[in-house]
Every structure is written in structure tokens, then in C-alpha cells.
Amino acid sequence: MVSRLPGAQTHHWDWQLEGSCRTVGSEVFFRPASEGRAEARRREEAAKRVCAGCPVRLECRRHALATREPYGVWGGLTEDERRALLVRREPEEVMPRAA
């Protein structure tokens, strides 16, 4: 008996192709080991500006929260902001309703 393997599930990741971050270096979104607090704040603010205008910001945020992404700015949230949302478990704050 021959069975066929299912095809790749790339549609789960297709949203990433539309991300505004694709034209920005990853160093804007991910903290280098030697980064100080003031530098981190500036870098995170720059990343959030990119995220603010991103057409897939909410999909990105959902992904980061669902997978408990431990590093970087995803969907406009830092790792600390995501951790706080997950601890509080307030769905309205995690995913605001669409207008």
C-alpha cells in the first residue's frame, strides 16, 4: 500500500511575504547581546514605527503570541509586552477587535 504525504502548509506563513519588515534589516527587530537600555528603547521604537504601517501587523502579532515567540518585536509588540499580555490573558488586549 502506498500512501501520499500531505503537501506543504505554506499558506500558514504566506502573510510574512507582505510584511513591511522584509525591507528592513533584522537588527531593527532583534536585540544584540551588548545592547543597553537606551539603545534598546530607540531600536524598539524604530521597529514599532515599521510595524505601525504594516498590512499584516495583526497576523504577525497573532503568530508571535500563539507561538510564544521569545525574541524581537513582532506585530508592534516587544518580547516584554507580549509576555505581559500572555500572563494577564486578556483577549481584548491581545487581539483588538477589527473595526
Say if residues 77 and 85 touch (Cβ distance below 8 Å): yes
Average pLDDT for residues 25-54, to the nearest whole number?
Answer: 95
Task: Tell me the domain boundaries of the chain.
Answer: 35-99
Distances (CA, A) of 83 to 68, 73, 86: 8, 12, 5
**pLDDT(12) > 70:** no
Query: What local confidence, expressed as pLDDT, does residue 82 receive?
Result: 95
Residue-wise DSSP of the chain: ----PPPP-GGGTGGGGG-GGGGS-GGGTS--TT--HHHHHHHHHHHHHHHHT-TTHHHHHHHHHHTT--SS-BTTB-HHHHHHHHHHT-HHHHSPPP-
Cell numbers found for residue 89: 490573558
Does 21 belong to an annotated binding site? Answer: yes
Does 60 belong to an annotated binding site? Answer: yes
Name the pTM for this structure.
Answer: 0.76
Say if residues 95 and 79 touch (Cβ distance below 8 Å): no
